[in-house]
Structure 1
């Protein structure tokens, strides 16, 4: 298996949202974007699918060395090799890649967040950083991409948190801020033990409205001249908005299951968004 095939399997298996979103990107940039999505998935698996924090930190330390090796021109991992082959200027993008890795490292340091400003620091380190990297890969004006891509990445993360509430809680991570849980009279134990209630519904309605508003605001701020270059991010946003609608229609039943869109609907949404 060559490194491009590895990235495709890791980042965008058929039927996934990333699969359809990446296919809307300019053809020449699809290998690079796929490698970036694969790298994000590698980082995510390192911290979220490792039960022992010591092992997680060891794996993160390896990735830190691998990112340095990528910048030095001697990567060893298939994803790093793909980035070396497709990324025009590795040195320029390396600080952002390191920042993305540092953002995921926060998952090993804390599993709950006191309030939204604390959560925002995590979301911006992961979601906003990643969206900015993706945007720069195809933007007409890469130097300005973070201004409009960062808010979109933040909004996408808010939507992901809602969809993953149940699964994250079962793995000991609760991204809904503690003060907001208290405001709606929902406890961490309620999430972990999958206890639905009117209070939980009200909490999730609040979370969904915030994420939906953030997505719509970020999309509206996307410069007209960049709309065509950012078909991948726009497709992801369309998927996120549709998924929020689906979660709402299902009564926010996200604690015992992960609600998802069908592949054919993802295909249609990605096509329409582009």
Structure 2
């Protein structure tokens, strides 16, 4: 298996939201975008699917060395080999790749967040930083294939990209509330749970109450408003190049709608869109 095939299987298995979002990317930028999503998945698995924090830190330390090896021109992992092949300026993006890894390391340091400002440190490091990486890759891919990059939307992204990445993370928190709680992580701020009179035990024990419904309605509305605000801030000339992120945003909004229709029953199940709906939503997203 070559490194591009590895990245495709790791980042975007058929039927996943990422799979359909990447289908909307330009051919020139798709291999790099796939490699970035694969790297994010590698980091996520390292911290979230490792029960022993010591093992997680050992794996993260290995990835620190591997990212340094990528910057030095001698990567060994299939994902970093793909990045070496498709990322035109590794040195420029090296700090962002390090920051992404540092963001995921926070999962080994804490499982609860006192308030929303504290949670945003994690959301920014993991979600905002990653979306900025994706948006730059998409913009540069558009620039390489267009004579007039300013017209074609290849301008370097600004705050909208990080904001959209944070909003997508907030959507993920809503959808994964039950699964995260069962794995010892709660991404709903403690002060907000206290405000709505919901406890960690309620989440872990899958206890549905009116208070929980109101809490999830609040969390969902914040995520939805954040997605819409980030999309509204995206420059019109950037939209053609940024169709992957736009598709992910459309899928996130549709998922939030589906969760709301289901009554926020996210503690015992993962509510998801069907593959055919994902295909249609991603294709329609502009």
How do 1:101-116 residues align onto structure 2 when only pairs under 5 Å count?
101-116=101-116
Q: Are 1:258 and 2:270 matched, yes or no?
A: yes
Using the TM superposition, give the Cα deviation of residue 54 of structure 1 relative to its aligned residue in structure 2, in angstroms: 0.1
Counterpart selection for 1:186 from 174, 198, 213: 198
State the Cα deviation string for residues 78-132 of structure 1 (Å, max 9, x = none). Answer: 0000000000100000100000000000000000000000000000000000000
- The alignment status of 1:210 with 2:233, answered yes or no, reads no
Partners of 1:32 and 1:267 in 2: CA distance: 21
The answer to whether the 8 Å contact 1:135/1:142 transfers is no
- d(CA) in 1 for partners of 2:215 and 2:42? 31
Does 1:237 find its partner at 2:249?
A: yes
Q: Give ranges in structure 2 of 5+ residues lacking alignment.
A: 140-148
User: Which residue of the partner structure matches residue 94 of structure 1?
Assistant: 94
User: How far 1:253 moved relative to its partner?
Assistant: 0.2
Which residue of the partner structure matches residue 146 of structure 2?
A: none
Q: Match for residue 64 of structure 2?
A: 64
Paired residue for 2:143?
A: none
- Cα deviation for residue 261 of structure 1 reads 0.2
Q: Following the alignment from structure 2 to structure 1, what is the Cα–Cα distance between the partners of residues 58 and 202? A: 33
Whole-angstrom CA distance in 2 between matches of 1:146 and 1:135:
9
1:120 matched to which residue of 2?
A: 120
Q: Is the 8 A contact 2:250 2:281 kept in 1?
A: yes
Measure the CA separation in 2 of the matches of 1:45 and 1:223: 33
Contact map agreement 2:220 2:256 (CA 8 A) in 1:
yes
- Per-residue displacement from partner, 1:49-95 (whole Å, max 9, x unpaired)? 00000000000000000000000000000000000000010000010
RMSD across aligned positions (CA): 0.9
**Other-structure match for 1:150:** 162
- 2: distance between equivalents of 1:78 and 1:100? 18
**Whole-angstrom CA distance in 2 between matches of 1:130 and 1:38:** 12
1:162 paired residue among 152, 162, 174: 174
The structural deviation recorded for 1:33 is 0.2
User: How many residues are paired up?
Assistant: 274
- Segments of 5+ residues of structure 1 without an aligned counterpart are none
